[in-house]
Amino acid sequence: MLELKENALNENIYLSLRECVNWKKLSEHQAKQAIEKSLFNVTAYVDGVPAGMGRVIGDGAVICYIQDLVVLPEYQKMGIGKAIMQRLISYVEGIREEGTEMMLCLMCAKGRESFYEKLGFIARPTDSLGPGMTQYLKY
């Protein structure tokens, strides 16, 4: 049975889920800060086992980002990612000031675009929007 828990993510689950999908290793301090500074997070449990998670980060007024959407490989294609995303999008819709527009952005792994397009996201670049860009700051 799928259960979604809001704002219940902890560093151990966060780090474990990231490791299971071979994402960059983070320190415990980075994980703690990432969770604490998130606007909102959702953790998905299947029969009591953490199977996925996602976070919303941003200023909560003009722009928010979906960050760290993870669903363990053995639980993919079961609607868990979609359920997490719907909860994250709903949160952002709920904090948007009435009568205003807010940008909700994300970066996705290559080949995953269609998943997000089904949820209303558009791939960049477009005629009016340039490509997303990244810079990694490291020692």
Position 132 scores a pLDDT of 87
Boundaries of domain holding 54: 2-117
Q: Are 46 and 1 in contact (CB under 8 A)?
A: yes
131: preceding bond cis by omega (within 30 degrees): no
Within-domain flag for 135: no
| 3-state secondary structure at position 119 | coil
Q: Are 32 and 40 in contact (CB under 8 A)?
A: no
Cut 0.95: pTM above it: no
Within-domain flag for 77: yes
User: Which pLDDT tens digit goes with each residue over 98-133?
Assistant: 999 999 999 998 899 999 999 999 998 998 989 988
Within-domain flag for 89: yes
**Sequence letter at residue 129:** L
Instruction: Give the closest residue to 89 by CA, choosing from 71, 61, 64.
Output: 64
Domain count of the fold of the chain: 1
The CATH number covering residue 107 comes to 3.40.630.30
In the chain, pLDDT over 70 holds for what percent of residues?
A: 100
Within-domain flag for 123: no
Within-domain flag for 17: yes
Task: Give the pLDDT band (50/70/90) at residue 137.
Answer: confident
